[in-house]
């Protein structure tokens, strides 16, 4: 493999070579370490190109619809979780009912493929951010898959808002960027993907608008636990939250309108992966190959392209520094989940009382005039590319193992089919992927056919391996890190 010299890289994006293999020659990364160990097997891993149906879906994302949604949500005055719920024009109840009405409009035009429900519970006062008992409601529109409808992918935004004082539930709290922008993405993708002129995806997709995020992730926790506590447990193989995706311009004017951050957690919580599994993961150097991070790698491969017009910048963290969002309850429920957030934040337009400072003349507040609706439309396309590609993949192989019985320079892998079985999931074959231990994304791939065991002439000591399923048309699933088995 030829390595591009550091000075010849044409983009600051560390995965530029992966996304632009022609310009990068045969190299995928500028890091010289990716040239070792020498490989005589496999091929270069290249991005998965969008299908004609997906290209059509992405082209239909309409920035004017997104703008109209954000302006409508702002018009309710405040969407604070504790605000009034019995008005048709003001407060979080009015916003909830309008979102449900919009989802239902799409459902009515979907030929039965989209169903809508408003779910929730009574949250008692918690002595912290919930001053009195309040109804927490999530609005969920589910696009039901054809072949494996029990496999589910979730996208959400939160429709509650706030000002400087998190307990102030009466002041004007427009919440345009945080997070009407995320709700607008859920609505727009539900509108497009549920249309009868598109084929139904193989798996199901849930488009959600959740409440209570600013008061403590209440709505997303309820939704995650609803799925996790169902009998049987709902098989959520991926979840994305879009939170603060309204603009790319920072407080100093720095703008990066063609980049979206995607946050991906490292080690799972100990409630999900116990101390024994944690110790084994650390022993094999698998701390960078958790389900959440391999989900993010998948997004990079299918959604960083000309059809979206965006660079997906994966950040190996749970969230922004010491902050949190609605993907966290899904991670804690044992589901892979990531967070999309704009590349630069302007904190004058988050969690602020709407005001103009006398001395500086600076406008504060999360107002729609500070949103970039074209940017939000591109973020919607990134989400659409990821969700459609996931829902039309075979899903993830199960019980992926690597033989550790004897010392060998070969690597022997075993795995079980996805949850629905090979025929049910539409598996056309499997691929072994790998990368140098210091490379961020998969660099090499080997098609091994429709088997459940393979010996690879490459040592597990020197690279990180993954196993992924693909459908007959070549649509890939998320890769899974093998754990050792004797």
The answer to whether residue 384 sits within a structural domain is: yes
Relative orientation angle of helices 373-391 and 291-303, to the nearest 10 degrees:
110
pLDDT at 4 over 50: no
As a whole number, mean pLDDT of residues 116-121 equals 98
Residue partners of 231: CB distance under 8 A and separation at least 6: none
Q: Strand 311-315 and strand 203-210: pairing?
A: unpaired
Tens-place pLDDT, residues 390-410? 999 999 999 999 999 888 889
Cβ atoms of 452 and 400 closer than 8 Å: no
Q: Are 194 and 113 contained in the same domain?
A: yes
The enclosing domain of 307 has a CATH number of 3.40.630.10
Q: How far apart are CA 197 and CA 192, in angstroms?
A: 10
pLDDT the model gives residue 386: 98
**According to the model, what pLDDT value does residue 11 have?**
44
Regarding whether 173 and 246 lie in a shared domain, the answer is yes
**Structural domain for 383, as ranges:** 52-391
Query: Is 426 a residue whose pLDDT tops 80?
Result: yes
Whether residues 152 and 24 fall in one domain: no
Query: CB neighbours (10 Å) of residue 16?
Result: 20
205/336 same-domain check: yes
Arithmetic mean of pLDDT, 79-99: 98
What percent of the chain is predicted at pLDDT more than 70? 92
Q: How confident is the model at residue 40 (pLDDT cuts 50, 70, 90)?
A: confident
How far apart CA 401 and CA 389 sit, in angstroms, is 25
Comparing 27-31, 286-290, 337-341, the range with the smallest average pLDDT is 27-31
Structural domain includes residue 41:
no
Mean pLDDT over the full length of the chain: 93
So what's the pLDDT on residue 26? Answer: 44
CB contact set of 358 (below 8 Å; sequence gap of 6+): none
The model's pTM is: 0.92
Pair (353, 235) in one structural domain: yes
166 with 108, same domain: the answer is yes
User: Do residues 234 and 351 both lie within one domain?
Assistant: yes
269 with 209, same domain: the answer is yes
Mean pLDDT across 139-154: 98
Q: Would you give the DSSP letter of residue 446?
A: E
The torsion angles phi and psi of 436, rounded to 5 degrees, stand at -60, 155
Neighbours of 347 (CB within 10 A): 10
Q: How far apart (Å, rounded) are the C-alpha atoms in residues 324 and 318?
A: 8
Residue with tokens 């799925």: 227
Instruction: Among 391, 412, 430, give the residue marking a domain's end.
Output: 391
Nearest Cα to 474, choosing from 413, 389, 384?
389
Q: What is the number of structural domains in the chain?
A: 3
Same domain? For 324 and 209 the reply is: yes
């Amino acid at each position: 493999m030829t390595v591009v010299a550091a000075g010849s890289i044409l983009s600051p994006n560390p995965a530029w070579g992966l996304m632009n293999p022609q310009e990068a020659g045969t190299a995928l990364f500028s890091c010289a370490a990716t040239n070792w160990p020498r490989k005589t097997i496999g091929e270069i891993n290249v991005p998965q190109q969008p299908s004609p149906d997906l290209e059509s879906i992405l082209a239909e994302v309409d920035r004017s619809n997104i703008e109209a949604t954000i302006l409508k949500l702002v018009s309710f005055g405040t969407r604070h979780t504790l605000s009034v719920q019995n008005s048709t024009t003001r407060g979080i109840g009015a916003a909830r009912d309008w979102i449900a009405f919009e989802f239902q409009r799409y459902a009515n035009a979907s030929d039965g493929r989209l169903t809508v429900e408003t779910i929730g519970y009574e949250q008692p006062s918690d002595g912290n951010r919930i001053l009195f008992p309040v109804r927490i409601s999530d609005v969920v529109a589910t696009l039901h898959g054809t072949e494996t409808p029990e496999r589910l992918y979730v996208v959400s935004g939160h429709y509650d808002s706030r000002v400087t004082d998190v307990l102030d539930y009466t002041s004007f709290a427009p919440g345009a960027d945080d997070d009407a922008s995320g709700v607008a993405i859920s609505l727009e993708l539900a509108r497009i993907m549920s249309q009868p002129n598109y084929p139904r995806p193989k798996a199901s997709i849930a488009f959600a608008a959740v409440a209570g995020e600013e008061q403590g992730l209440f709505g997303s926790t309820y939704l995650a636990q609803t799925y996790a506590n169902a009998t049987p447990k709902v098989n959520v193989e991926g979840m994305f939250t879009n939170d603060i995706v309204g603009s790319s311009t920072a407080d100093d004017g720095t703008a990066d309108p063609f980049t979206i951050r995607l946050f991906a957690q490292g080690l799972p919580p100990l409630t999900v992966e116990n101390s024994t599994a944690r110790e084994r993961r650390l022993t094999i150097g698998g701390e960078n190959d958790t389900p959440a991070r391999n989900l993010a790698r998948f997004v990079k491969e299918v959604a960083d392209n000309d059809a979206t017009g965006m660079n997906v910048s994966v950040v190996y963290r749970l969230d922004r520094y010491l902050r949190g969002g609605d993907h966290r309850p899904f991670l804690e429920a044992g589901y892979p989940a990531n967070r999309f957030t704009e590349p630069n934040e302007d904190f004058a337009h988050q969690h602020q009382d709407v005001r103009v400072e006398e001395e500086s003349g600076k406008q504060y507040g999360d107002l729609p005039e500070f949103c970039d609706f074209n940017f939000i439309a591109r973020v919607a396309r990134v989400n659409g590319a990821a969700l459609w590609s996931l829902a039309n993949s075979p899903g993830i192989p199960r019980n992926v193992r690597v033989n550790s019985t004897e010392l060998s320079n070969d690597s022997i892998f075993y795995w079980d089919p996805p949850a629905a079985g090979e025929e049910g999931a539409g598996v056309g074959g499997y691929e072994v992927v790998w990368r140098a231990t210091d490379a961020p994304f998969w660099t090499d791939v080997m098609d091994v056919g429709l088997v459940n065991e393979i010996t690879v002439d490459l040592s597990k000591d020197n690279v990180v391996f993954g196993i992924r399923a693909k459908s007959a048309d070549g649509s890939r699933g998320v890769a899974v890190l093998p754990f050792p088995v004797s």
